[in-house]
Amino acid sequence: MEEKHKLLILYTTQTGNSLDAAERLGREAERRGCDAAVLSIDELDASRLPHENNVIFVVSTTGQGDAPDSMKGFWRFLLQKNLGRDWLSGVHYAVFGLGDSAYQKYNFVAKKLDKRLLDLGAKAMIERGLGDDQHLSGYEGALDPWMSSLWNVLYQMNPSLFRKGLDIVISDVKLMDQPKFEIIYHNVQEGHPGVSDGSDLNSMALQIERTRSMCPGTVSHNKNRPECFLQMIKNQPLTKAAYGKDVRHFEFEAISSVIKYEVGDVLEILPDQNPAAVDAFIERCGLDPESYITVHPRKSRLHLSSMDPVKLKTFVELTMDVMSFFASAQHEKERLQYFASPEGRDDLYQYNQKERRTVLEVLEDFPSVQMPLAWLVELVPTLKTRAFSISSSHSAHPNQVHLTVSVVSWTTPFKRKRTGLCSQWLAGLDPQRGVHIPVWFQKGSLPPPPPSLPLILIGPGTGCAPFRGFVEERALQSRSVPTAPIIFFFGCRNEDNDFLYRDFWLSNSNQGGVLSEEKGGGFYVAFSRDQPQKVYVQHKMQEQSDRIWKLLGEGAAVYVAGSSTKMPADVFSCLEEIVAKEGGVARESATRWLRALEKAGKYHVEAWS
């Protein structure tokens, strides 16, 4: 039988945040002399769970209460009816969830897992922790106090887990010789059989797959090799130039393979980084950009023989999102150690998150920091793909995919100009240049509706993106089969400045289009700043409450997309009022009715920060 772990930390992630949180828990355990193993939940044979004594689960919730892909097999195993009520009677556990309180099913996976573990006889060490993307410090705002309580409880349960006692924390400097990853340098030439120059699409895909498979932070759902490459064919501003907000319509064409997606799907893009920033980072860290390397876990070299080397500069470009933790100058070390402590969390937020300092800027602020590449690989954030709702119908554009993107830019409190990496890069692309863009298609939170399903769509701002695809598809379907009506509520600031896709919506709401009132549908716009009193989509919904209630009575599904701050909750509250008023029931009954609608798969939300 395999040896049980002293402390097992299991994570399940879709975007990488739970991995980051789990690795932080592992590092903090190490600093207290507690041996901990950090594993993705799909790396553990679920039948072995009863043989573990202390298990920490770090789990994220995706979409509308869904578990990440890596957890689905584990969850199916836990739901087996033949598992008795004492199956986990010897297991002590703790659950920390990562979620977003803007969603109705906030941290739903963590809550479900907690309950199921209790049902199977496991004993909770502490109350589950719930991290919230809406907190100023993100999930870490809840993780810090929860982790502090966890170490206290673990120590009270079993002091022998901590080799030097709870209060003796091993210095980070003493752990510096223990990075989890090892860098092997290779003496190879450009013509080496294992070295790809990326000169064609296949070798580009191979190079991305090879490089990102070495990266410790890449998520494991087939993210290493691009599904295909796209080429931009249109870069069109949707907002007026002097408006101050830049929203763009992008069109892409597949160049490497036939693309396939459904309305409601998501396109993930691996963006290019600023070449000057990459070069400055490499120079600041004293690295040789032309050297060839392989990166692998220090504890295992089993797969080294199958790994081909990649150029160091390529590794940085494709995997490292160009924070630091170590300094040799005493005043810098003290400042960094303070930032790393729970007491320094607010100041760290001011210094880092609020100012959005890049890795390069942090290193330049602390000139005594000299970190080996192995530590940089472990500590520099991974370059992640960026996800965008697809705003086209594949049926209407067989070899194309369209996106509606707000180009992110802002000024920090200290007047630093900041931009979103991917959106700014896309906005700067010239369709004539033929840049090859690596992409992956993923299922979103908005399932494609059949033509017979009536729809109530609410999508202010760029939330209209997926619904452009919905309307395109239904307009195409209406030429050959009877289709159900669609009511769409759109919102923006000004009719003149940011009425996104104005002509498209109006053409589909006139002359018998799928959004026309004569077809049972409707298109209603809220211009929030065009009058003294602000008007939002929920005000327009109230005006059409009878029509919404009628469609709901006909079996309509509700789809909501847009900003994750207040909008989804405000829309749900508005629908509660409409159901209570039109149905003649109490507000509590209206809430239960909408929850039943959600449970039946007829209330969907896709929101982003």
Binding-site residue ranges: 13-18, 60-63, 133, 356, 386-389, 420-423, 462, 528-529, 534-538, 570, 608
Backbone angles phi and psi of 174, in degrees to 5 = -70, -20
What residues form DSSP beta bridges with 406?
A: 247
Nearest to 56 by CA among 80, 89, 21: 21
Residue linked to tokens 């966890």? 150
Residue ranges for the binding site for FMN?
13-18, 60-63, 133
Please answer whether residues 290 and 313 qualify as being in contact, where contact means their C-beta atoms are separated by less than 8 angstroms.
yes
Please answer whether residues 353 and 315 qualify as being in contact, where contact means their C-beta atoms are separated by less than 8 angstroms.
no
**What is the Cα gyration radius of the chain?**
26
Burial grade of 62 (CB within 10 A; 0-12, 13-18, 19 or more):
buried
What residues form DSSP beta bridges with 295?
A: 183
Q: What is the DSSP string of 383-449?
A: ---EEEEB-S-TTTSTTEEEEEEE--EEE-TT--EEE-HHHHHHHT--GGG--EEEEEEE--SSPPP
For residue 235, what is the enclosing H or E element?
strand 228-237
What's the token pair of residue 476? Answer: 């195409």
Angle at 215 between CA 259 and CA 261, to 5 degrees: 15
Backbone angles phi and psi of 606, in degrees to 5 = -130, 115
Backbone angles phi and psi of 487, in degrees to 5 = -110, 130
Nearest to 313 by CA among 351, 333, 283: 283
What's the token pair of residue 497? Answer: 């400045």
Centre a 10 Å sphere on the Cβ of residue 40 and count the other Cβ atoms it contains.
Answer: 19
Centre a 10 Å sphere on the Cβ of residue 121 and count the other Cβ atoms it contains.
Answer: 16
Residue ranges for the binding site for NADP(+)?
462, 528-529, 534-538, 570
Type of residue found at 319? T
Angle at 607 between CA 70 and CA 318, to 5 degrees: 55
Please answer whether residues 537 and 526 qualify as being in contact, where contact means their C-beta atoms are separated by less than 8 angstroms.
yes
Residue ranges for the binding site for FAD?
356, 386-389, 420-423, 608
What's the token pair of residue 151? Answer: 């170490």
The size of the chain, in residues, is: 609
> Quick one: CA torsion of 494, 499, 500, 505, rounded to 10 degrees?
150
Helix (H, G, I), strand (E, B) or coil at 592: helix
